[in-house]
Chains A and B, each alone.
Chain A
Amino acid sequence: MYRIVRKEQLSQEVFLMEIEAPMIARERKAGQFVIVQKGGDFNERIPLTIADASPEKGTITIVYQRVGASTFLLAELEEGDAIENVLGPLGTPTHIEKFGRVVCVGGGIGVAPLYPIAEAMKAAGNDVRVIIGARNKELIIEEDKMRTIDPDLTIVTDDGSYGEKGVVTVPLERMLQEGNVDHVVAIGPAVMMKFCTKTAEKYNVPITVSLNSIMIDGTGMCGGCRVDIGGERKFVCVDGPEFDGHLVNWDNLMMRQRTYKAQETEDNDKCRGGICGKLGLK
């Protein structure tokens, strides 16, 4: 059992949980993820990137957005409650080296998993610049934490309610234009990572992205997370989650992410009168 020692609501739909998981806390490296299953026979396995960890306290931190029934149920848990299953650390750790200047771009809740990578990049001696973006001010998370890495970080919102109005590719392009950018790391929605890649491509700068594909076991068994990387079939769970953005077949990734779209809509409808109704939710 994995006890929740701290829970914070970062925005209306975004939650942070610090969970006791000493073995994972000890072994994890930047860029790795866990699979969380609330317990019992019927709950989904949810892949979530490790946002932070403390080997001393034996805890890891996850950040997730309440989007469907499973994350809704997870968000019902409070401090002191336990999650039955947390598997990890999964995936290949981020390749950290001293590149020089590294721009880290985080979109939405992608800012959370970006933090340990930005932190490790800084620790490796890089000059780290941070860009964080969201739809509006309410949805900007972990700003203070990110400021510890880059006090002059750039904030962008779609509606201009905080920071610059626009999308993350605008400040990214500005920084690339200024020159001296040696590496870009982007984590966020697939479409954001796709356009960050296109922007970096223009300036011939390498970019690392973290892919969030459909996944069940997280150990290489199901093949649901397969992605096309430069024409080769790779599994996000064991070969990734991070890949060279320039090699990712973005259209295929985004298409495959929509596999259960129709069913999820159906399930959400069912959820209102169905299982969630039975559980006394919504």
Chain B
Amino acid sequence: MKTPEIIEKEAKEILASLPSTLSPKDRAAIPHMDMPVQDPKERIHNMSEVALGYTEDEAIVEASRCLQCRNKPCVNGCPVGIDIPAFIHKITEKDYSGALSVIQESSLLPSICGRVCPQENQCQKYCTVGKMCKDVDKAVGIGRLERFVADHEADKSTVPAIAPETGKRVAIVGSGPASIACAADVRRAGHSVTVFEALHKMGGVLSYGIPEFRLPKRLVDKEISKLKDMGIDFEKNVLVGRTRTIKELMEEDGFDAVFVGTGAGLPKFMGIPGEDLVSVFSANEYLTRSNLMKAYDGEHSLTPYFHAHRVAVFGGGNVAMDAARTALRLGAETVDIIYRRSREEMPARKEEIEHAVEEGCNLRLLSQPVEILGDENGIVKGVVIRKCELGEPDASGRRSPVEIPGSDYTVEYDTVIVSIGNASNPLIKKTTPEIETNRRGNFVVNEETCETSMKGVYAGGDIVLGAATVILAMGQGRKAAAAINEYLKENK
């Protein structure tokens, strides 16, 4: 693996050798810049960010690889439609504030999306350079460039223009990515916006879920304070459905519209014996303790975490990778990620899987946990695992796992983290029967407007989509905001 120093040296050499005008062929010949990262051996002992971000030289080299395609295929892959070639062009001109302005026309949280978007399945998947190289990993590093711009201009971002006050009031329920995106766009239209959050910190999954080493919390705090500067009110310790109901917000508190972005907050379990043992945790609990409650900082935090030695993580998604890598940083000696299909089918981002493996997590693939064994104190002592093989593709298009009878074996663990997804939180559904939900408890919305079956109530993010990504949630938040702004215009 290349050290940050080597990558920077390469960037300097390439920059020096670039001709003053570049043909598309020249551009495509420039090697892809690796992302400088903390050494895996060191980083498992700290919570600091793993990916260090491009230096200016590295960013310019990477930006120079962009062919500036006229049909902009990458933009079609972006859920919020950022004018990607335009901002990348600004980087090559060293006009970083110009680059940020281009991004901010479409996206509110570049420092966050540049870090957590699955670009390889979005913009970068359609990149012509990647196609020419026949390798999506060699596509222009759009996400890394987005992050570079956001970080470079971190102290310079300005408050966007706000339309004259309309006197209309909008309540936003939850403060995660969908809510933040919706709040900003509604506020820009001149409406008064109040965000209600149940926890003591704003940001939703950005605060409690995604670990510090992948998304530093100072960035989340910064984005929230930017929204405060726009005049958005944030009220914590309000659990809509208990402290106030949606009906009360609209009928008694005078809100003209409501956006619900409460996420998918009810952890799923496998339904196998032993899941109620003492050292079995949902990934939500494990990560919330470490991230939101700062349990990793044992010197200061009053929230305990379970001191695990041999950890089994069930699941193959990004949250499973986050949990596994957190366990390593909290001192686990071995961490196995147990997943029933092969590495190909793992839903986690490739980069996250690579980082987890580099750090020493073991992938125990084609393996299905069937029972968790405990000792007399209820502490996990092992997991019975059944081997699987890949069968026919299922509804998701991925080859489905088929259990092999008689293949059970037991591995010793003292801790299990279950990370197989979330169901929707039933609280609002229970207290607001007017809102139609589907079989899985997700809100049913109009696809164009994100409006629910209750007039004036909109929803987006995981409460609608099930488990999705930060950027998809933001996309829905923005779509809902546009519809809310339209709705309030009509209802003068």
Would you call A233 and B276 a contact (CB within 8 A)? yes
A206-225 interface (Cβ within 8 A of B) = 216-224
CB distance from B381 to the nearest CB of A (A): 14
Asked if A259 CB lies within 8 Å of chain B CBs, one says yes
CB distance from A218 to the nearest CB of B (A): 8
Asked if A89 CB lies within 8 Å of chain B CBs, one says yes
SS class of chain B's interface: helix, strand, loop or mixed? loop
Segment of B155-163, B294-302, B401-409 engaged in the interface with chain A: B294-302
- Say yes or no: A263-B425 contact (C-beta < 8 A), given A42-B294, A90-B239: no
Would you call B307 and A263 a contact (CB within 8 A)? yes
| A118 neighbours in B (Cβ, 8 Å) | none
B17-57 interface (Cβ within 8 A of A) = none
CB distance from B195 to the nearest CB of A (A): 15
Encoded as 1 (CB less than 8 Å from any B CB) or 0, chain A from 253 to 273 comes to: 001101110111001000000
Most chain-B Cβ atoms within 10 A of its Cβ — which of A223, A249, A263?
A223
Partner of B269, one of A24, A84, A90, A223: A223
Asked if A252 CB lies within 8 Å of chain B CBs, one says yes
- Say yes or no: A45-B279 contact (C-beta < 8 A), given A23-B244, A220-B426: no
- Say yes or no: A238-B427 contact (C-beta < 8 A), given A87-B239, A220-B266, A259-B279: yes
Partner of A89, one of B242, B302, B425: B242
CA distance A19 to B266 in the complex (A): 30
| A249 neighbours in B (Cβ, 8 Å) | 276
CA distance A275 to B303 in the complex (A): 13
Would you call B285 and A224 a contact (CB within 8 A)? yes
| B236 neighbours in A (Cβ, 8 Å) | 85
Asked if A178 CB lies within 8 Å of chain B CBs, one says no
Would you call A42 and B276 a contact (CB within 8 A)? no
- Say yes or no: A217-B199 contact (C-beta < 8 A), given A27-B242, A42-B300: yes
Residue on B nearest A85 in the bound complex, by CB: B200
Asked if A44 CB lies within 8 Å of chain B CBs, one says yes
Would you call A216 and B288 a contact (CB within 8 A)? yes
CA distance A41 to B199 in the complex (A): 12
Residue on A nearest B285 in the bound complex, by CB: A222
Partner of B427, one of A44, A45, A220, A262: A220
Asked if A109 CB lies within 8 Å of chain B CBs, one says no
| A75 neighbours in B (Cβ, 8 Å) | none
Partner of A223, one of B237, B284, B302, B303: B284
Encoded as 1 (CB less than 8 Å from any B CB) or 0, chain A from 90 to 118 comes to: 10000000000000000000000000000
CA distance A224 to B301 in the complex (A): 18
- Say yes or no: A85-B265 contact (C-beta < 8 A), given A69-B302, A221-B284, A222-B285: no
Partner of A41, one of B267, B289, B294, B427: B294
Asked if A194 CB lies within 8 Å of chain B CBs, one says no
Size range of the interface on A?
Answer: 35 or more
- Say yes or no: A87-B237 contact (C-beta < 8 A), given A27-B242, A217-B198, A220-B425: yes
CB distance from A131 to the nearest CB of B (A): 31
Would you call A220 and B243 a contact (CB within 8 A)? no
| B427 neighbours in A (Cβ, 8 Å) | 219-220, 238
Asked if A129 CB lies within 8 Å of chain B CBs, one says no
Would you call A217 and B306 a contact (CB within 8 A)? no
| B254 neighbours in A (Cβ, 8 Å) | none
Would you call B285 and A275 a contact (CB within 8 A)? no
CB distance from B124 to the nearest CB of A (A): 32
Asked if B15 CB lies within 8 Å of chain A CBs, one says no
Residue on A nearest B200 in the bound complex, by CB: A85
CB distance from B281 to the nearest CB of A (A): 7
Asked if B488 CB lies within 8 Å of chain A CBs, one says no
Residue on A nearest B378 in the bound complex, by CB: A255
| A267 neighbours in B (Cβ, 8 Å) | 304
Residue on A nearest B217 in the bound complex, by CB: A41
CA distance A219 to B265 in the complex (A): 8
Partner of B267, one of A27, A89, A223: A223
Asked if B230 CB lies within 8 Å of chain A CBs, one says no
CB distance from B120 to the nearest CB of A (A): 29
Would you call A224 and B377 a contact (CB within 8 A)? no
CB distance from A170 to the nearest CB of B (A): 30
Asked if A161 CB lies within 8 Å of chain B CBs, one says no
- Say yes or no: A219-B239 contact (C-beta < 8 A), given A42-B301, A45-B200, A275-B300: yes
Asked if A274 CB lies within 8 Å of chain B CBs, one says yes
CA distance A219 to B266 in the complex (A): 9
CA distance A41 to B378 in the complex (A): 31
CA distance A262 to B399 in the complex (A): 43
Would you call B200 and A221 a contact (CB within 8 A)? no
The 7 closest A-B pairs by CB, nearest first: A223-B282, A222-B285, A255-B378, A223-B267, A221-B265, A85-B200, A44-B302
Offer 29 A-B interface pairs, CB within 8 angstroms, sorted by A.
A27-B242, A42-B294, A42-B302, A43-B302, A44-B303, A85-B237, A86-B237, A87-B237, A87-B238, A89-B243, A90-B242, A219-B239, A221-B284, A221-B425, A222-B284, A222-B288, A223-B282, A224-B281, A233-B269, A233-B276, A252-B276, A256-B278, A258-B377, A258-B378, A262-B307, A263-B304, A263-B306, A264-B304, A267-B304
Q: Which B residues have a C-beta under 8 Å from some C-beta of A?
A: 198-200, 208, 236-239, 242-244, 265-267, 269, 275-279, 281-282, 284-285, 288-289, 292-294, 297, 299-307, 377-378, 425-427
Q: Which A residues have a C-beta under 8 Å from some C-beta of B?
A: 23-24, 27, 37, 41-45, 68-70, 73, 84-90, 216-224, 226, 228, 233, 235, 238, 249, 252, 255-256, 258-260, 262-264, 267, 274-275
